[in-house]
């Protein structure tokens, strides 16, 4: 099916893309059409109470073709890929894979509204690529400079420092090259899949 449609939801008019569901299925490799909204994913998700839409709601909106609404949601950036939902789902749907695909689509379509969260993801990955692991103090400093939120969470940072959770000297791992190679291989396979 081609082209976009509009549907009415209360007083709101929503744009739908009838190809969206098939696109997400293909990019995530997950049988999202099997979801029957039992909500076992949402009840087990450790971050669903911070999300604008729960994981099962994201799947329902995908099936309705609500592309813009899904790709602008904060939920897709807050998923921590813990896999709890995948283990709980009676239909074997791994939502972390779906969320991965949605993040890529949001970035490619320049639709992400969760700019700070997206920045955090990018800086986190840059750190892992550079050192093979994250140096928390560097991660926080880079994120705060990028987001402009210089003075938020200072209390939390101080508490972490006092408990030795924010070491000042960065430490890498032995096989940094192996980690860099993983990044390179994933970039090549992504470019090959375009």
Calculate Rg over the CA atoms of the chain: 19
The window from 8-16, 31-39, 125-133, 166-174 that contacts ligand SF4 (CB under 6 A) reads 31-39
Give, as ranges, the residues between 38 and 97 that touch ligand SF4 (CB under 6 A). 38-41, 44-45, 47, 55-56, 59, 79-85, 88-91, 93, 95-96
58 and 75 in contact (C-beta within 8 Å)?
A: yes
Under rule CB under 6 A, residue 35 binds ligand SF4: yes
Give, as ranges, the residues between 93 and 152 that touch ligand SF4 (CB under 6 A). 93, 95-96, 99
Minimum CB–partner distance for residue 110 and ligand SF4 (Å):
23
CB neighbour list of residue 176: distance below 8 Å, 6 or more residues apart: 130, 131, 132
Instruction: Of 75, 73, 179, give the one whose Cα is nearest residue 134.
Output: 179
Minimum CB–partner distance for residue 63 and ligand SF4 (Å):
10
Rounded to whole angstroms, how far apart are CA atoms 98 and 81?
10
Rounded to whole angstroms, how far apart are CA atoms 45 and 88?
10
CA–chain centroid gap for 158, Å, is 28
Minimum CB–partner distance for residue 100 and ligand SF4 (Å):
10
Q: Which residues bind ligand SF4 (CB under 6 A)?
A: 35-41, 44-45, 47, 55-56, 59, 79-85, 88-91, 93, 95-96, 99
């Amino acid at each position: 099916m081609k082209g976009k449609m509009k549907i009415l939801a209360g007083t709101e008019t929503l744009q739908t893309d009838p190809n969206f569901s098939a696109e997400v299925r293909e990019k995530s490799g997950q049988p999202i059409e099997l979801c029957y909204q039992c909500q076992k994913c949402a009840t087990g998700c450790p971050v669903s109470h911070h999300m604008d839409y729960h994981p099962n709601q994201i799947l329902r909106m995908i099936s309705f073709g609500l592309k813009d609404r899904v790709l602008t949601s904060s939920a897709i950036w807050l998923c921590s890929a813990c896999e709890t939902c995948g283990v709980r789902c009676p239909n074997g749907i791994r939502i972390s894979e779906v969320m991965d695909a949605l993040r890529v689509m949001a970035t490619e379509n320049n639709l992400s509204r969760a700019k700070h969260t997206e920045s955090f993801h990018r800086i986190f990955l840059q750190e892992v690529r550079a050192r093979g692991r994250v140096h928390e103090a560097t991660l926080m400093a880079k994120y705060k400079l990028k987001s402009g939120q210089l003075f938020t969470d200072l209390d939390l940072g101080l508490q972490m420092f006092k408990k030795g959770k924010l070491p000042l000297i960065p430490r890498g791992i032995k096989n940094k090259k192996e980690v860099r190679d993983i990044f390179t291989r994933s970039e090549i396979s992504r470019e090959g899949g375009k």
